[in-house]
Every structure is written in structure tokens, then in C-alpha cells.
Amino acid sequence: MIVRVALAMLFLLLLAGCGAARPATPTPGTAPTAGVVGNPDPCSLITAAELTAILGESMAEDGSDSLICRWTASGEALPLISIGFEAGNLSDAKAGLANPADITVGGLPAVVGALFMEGDILYVARDNIRLWVNLPYVPRDTPEVRQQLIQIAETAVSRWR
């Protein structure tokens, strides 16, 4: 009985959220890719050892394609971090974030914030291309998480040039 009530409440919350007006911002990695070709493999922008040092847990690469690379913590099934490229500018990215903050990463304009149901994300823009770093399954919108995102992005941007 309790399970049914909980499921019914979850269903109602989901329905209530469906009608809410939200900016149409794509999920990382789903934005149009025109103009993104020619950027480096996202897995080449940071090493597992560098991620381990920043995040404090052993990390391993867990698959990639030409636009997205994922890493998982040892023994975990879900990726802890994703890095990728997509077409677009910071204004578009910022519209879909909760608590966005404008910052600079590696001398480039950037924005950091929380994505609805997808953790914290940092976008760095150059020539209408966004490099994004996403920590999807960590406590959201904390100073520690934002600092980790910035450290990861600083390393990635230094190799993106």
C-alpha cells in the first residue's frame, strides 16, 4: 500500500513538472553537432589519474565517442563524470541552469550551474562550440562540486587549444 501511494505521488509530481515552463536547452551531448567536428577526442583532455587526484576516488575511462567521454569510479556502474563538445553559446546553456554563475576558465568565458535531474555542469565557450563537464550523480550545487568542475575544466581547456 505504501509503495502504491509513493508511486502515485511521484506520478503526480512528474505530471505537475511537465506543465512547467522551462527553457528548451538540450541535455549535454544532444545539442546539434554542426561545427563541432575537428575538436579533440574528449578523452584526450584529461587523464584518469588527473580525475582521481581531483575527485579523490579511483577513476577509469568508461566509453566514448567523438563528442563525449565518460569516466566511472572503481566498482561503480554509472559514470561519475562526462566531458563533451556541442555546438552553441553560453546564453543558450545558461538558460537551462539553476543557480548559474559566470566564470572564466583558462581565459575563456564559462558558466557553471545545476541541470534539472542531471547534476552540476560547467560549460566553456569558444567559437560557438561548448566544452562541457558534467558530474551527474553527486550532491548538487555545492562549493566543493563547483570547485571540482572548475579544476577538471581548467585541465581540459589547457588541452583544447
Residue whose C-alpha cell reads 566498482 in the numeric block: 75
pTM of the entire structure? 0.75
Query: Of 80, 133, 75, which is closest to residue 103 (Cα–Cα)?
Result: 133
State the pairing for strand pair 129-135/119-126.
antiparallel
pLDDT at 73: 87
pLDDT at 143: 87
* pLDDT tens digits along 13-35: 333 333 333 233 345 545 545 44
CATH hierarchy code of domain 34-160: 3.40.1000
Query: What are the residue ranges spanned by the domains of the chain?
Result: 34-160
Residues contacting 19, CB < 8 A, separation 6+? none
Distance separating alpha carbons of residues 131 and 123, to the nearest angstrom: 6
Phi and psi (nearest 5°) for 123? -115, 135
Q: Which amino acid is at 102?
A: D
Angstrom CA distances, 49 to 2, 14, 25, 53, 121, stand at: 45, 39, 32, 6, 21
* pLDDT tens digits along 148-160: 999 999 999 999 9
pLDDT at 139: 67
Please state the rounded mean pLDDT for residues 100-109: 95
Q: Answer whether residue 10 shows pLDDT above 70.
A: no
Extract the C-alpha cell encoding 52. 582521481
pLDDT at 85: 93
Q: Answer whether residue 142 shows pLDDT above 60.
A: yes
Angstrom CA distances, 44 to 61, 66, 111, 156, stand at: 11, 11, 22, 8
Instruction: Read off the DSSP letter of residue 133.
Output: E
Q: Which amino acid is at 153?
A: A
pLDDT at 4: 40
Asked which of 33-42, 69-78, 79-88, 98-107 is least confident by mean pLDDT, the reply is: 33-42
Phi and psi (nearest 5°) for 117? 65, 15
Distance separating alpha carbons of residues 109 and 17, to the nearest angstrom: 31
pLDDT at 62: 84
Q: Which of the pair, 130 or 7, is modelled with greater confidence?
A: 130
